[in-house]
Amino acid sequence: MDNIFALWTKGIDSERGFWTRWFETKGLEWADDYTERVRARRELDPWLQKVLRQSAVNAPGQDGMPRFRVLDVGAGPLSKIGNFMPDANLEVVAADPLAFIYSDLIDRHGITPGVRTQFAPAEDLSVFFAPSSFDLVHCSNALDHSFEPLRGIIEMLRVVRVGGTIILGHARNEAENEKYEGFHQHNFDVEDGRFVIWNKKERVIVEHELPVEFEIENSMQNRYVTNKIIKRSEFRDKDDNRRRDERLRKIYEQVIRAMSEK
Ligand SMILES: C[S@@+](CC[C@H](N)C(=O)[O-])C[C@H]1O[C@@H](n2cnc3c(N)ncnc32)[C@H](O)[C@@H]1O
């Protein structure tokens, strides 16, 4: 992690600025997107509904309908994926490390969100959510804003159940496009069919780094990278307390250091 977390904290102000303007102008140049997102009840994205139906395993509830639990990682202030299905019981959970900022903005603008975004960074999802507790994990245009995207994917694998799916959607090579400013420190790409995450310091082929069995489909269309990962086996290691303590120590140190440098 070295000082990448400290660098990440420096991107918070610009992200806050973006969303502050987004609320004040009702969506900047994306007025339709604003109108959609502030609606409290919205049908889940059709593609995500299809993925859920294909992997249904949960026993139906008393009403005979299947039950699904979905996590939107890096959801922003108002998750865009929707929050109900006409023929299933659906729970959508939205998570983002800037949840406190977003909650404040939502309240200030008198909005009642369908799903209120709660605090959790991608890199430590399993600290906040039970292992194997989601049928689907979704993340769009957010993991490439994180401080350790590969760890984020591994944590998504921890909280999704075996047979469940992770859907990632990101603009191709966004750090290059954004000149490595703010949260834009990682590029996502597809090379020879493989999912590659890179920046000026490192380059990883995601398929080589995942510690469970999985199936992956990577595609690129109109400079947009989509990855569909199905978890096929459970983790064998336990993310033991000692490793977690070590990580907590590093994060503590980096937060205080980043705050001291202001
Ligand atoms: C461009 S917005 C995308 C929001 C939403 N997913 C969408 O598609 O509209 C990027 C989001 O990534 C979030 N983000 C930054 N670092 C993150 C991390 N480490 N884990 C999860 N989300 C993160 C930001 O706070 C921000 O809300």
Can you tell me the distance from the alpha carbon of 127 to that of 105, in angstroms, rounded to the nearest whole number?
26
Element at 61 (helix H, strand E): none
Ramachandran category for residue 3: left, alpha or beta (phi over 0 → left; psi -120 to 50 → alpha): alpha
Q: Give the pLDDT of residue 1.
A: 52
Can you tell me the distance from the alpha carbon of 154 to that of 204, in angstroms, rounded to the nearest whole number?
13
Contacts of 89 (CB under 8 A, 6+ apart): 61, 63, 65, 66, 67, 68
Cα 170–chain centre separation: 11
Q: Give the pLDDT of residue 94.
A: 98
pLDDT band at 156 (very low <50, low <70, confident <90, very high): very high
Residue 240: C-alpha distances to residues 53, 99, 236 (Å): 34, 27, 12
Which residues pair with residue 220 across a beta bridge?
A: 225
Q: Give the pLDDT of residue 230.
A: 97
pLDDT band at 237 (very low <50, low <70, confident <90, very high): confident
CATH entry, 4-260, from 3.40.50.1220, 3.40.50.150, 3.40.50.300, 3.30.70.660: 3.40.50.150
Give residue 34's identity as a one-letter amino acid code: Y
More confident residue, 179 or 244: 179
Contacts of 212 (CB under 8 A, 6+ apart): 157, 231, 232, 233, 234, 235
Pocket test for ligand 1, best of 98, 105, 224 (most atoms within 8 A of CB): 98
Cα of 8 to ligand 1 centre, how many Å? Answer: 12
Cα of 99 to ligand 1 centre, how many Å? Answer: 10
For residue 76, the ligand 1 atom closest to its alpha carbon is 27
For 218, list phi and psi in degrees, rounded to 5: -115, 135
Tell me the percentage of the chain whose pLDDT exceeds 70: 97
Nearest CA residue ID for atom 5, ligand 1 = 75
Nearest CA residue ID for atom 25, ligand 1 = 98
More confident residue, 7 or 178: 178
More confident residue, 246 or 62: 246
Pocket test for ligand 1, best of 42, 71, 102, 145 (most atoms within 8 A of CB): 145
Nearest CA residue ID for atom 8, ligand 1 = 140
* Residue 150 token pair: 């590969």
Cα of 83 to ligand 1 centre, how many Å? Answer: 18
The mean pLDDT value of the chain amounts to 93
111-137: per-residue pLDDT in tens?
999 999 999 999 999 989 999 999 999
Cα of 162 to ligand 1 centre, how many Å? Answer: 25
Cα of 165 to ligand 1 centre, how many Å? Answer: 19
Q: Give the pLDDT of residue 261.
A: 74
Considering only CA atoms, which of 47, 125, 106 is closest in space to residue 82?
A: 47
For residue 8, the ligand 1 atom closest to its alpha carbon is 16
Can you tell me the distance from the alpha carbon of 114 to that of 82, in angstroms, rounded to the nearest whole number?
8
Pocket test for ligand 1, best of 38, 144, 183 (most atoms within 8 A of CB): 183
Q: What is the DSSP secondary structure assignment for residue 209, as one 8-state letter?
A: T
206-229: per-residue pLDDT in tens?
999 999 999 999 999 999 999 999
185-207: per-residue pLDDT in tens?
999 999 999 999 999 999 999 99
Cα of 232 to ligand 1 centre, how many Å? Answer: 27
What residues are in contact with ligand 1 under a 6 Å CB criterion? 15, 73-76, 80, 96-98, 121-123, 140-142, 145-147, 183
Q: Give the pLDDT of residue 5.
A: 80
20-37: per-residue pLDDT in tens?
999 999 999 999 999 999
* Residue 141 token pair: 């245009």
Nearest CA residue ID for atom 23, ligand 1 = 74
Question: Is pLDDT at 150 greater than 80 in this prediction?
Answer: yes
Can you tell me the distance from the alpha carbon of 145 to that of 74, in angstroms, rounded to the nearest whole number?
9
64-110: per-residue pLDDT in tens?
889 999 999 999 999 999 999 999 999 999 999 999 999 999 999 99
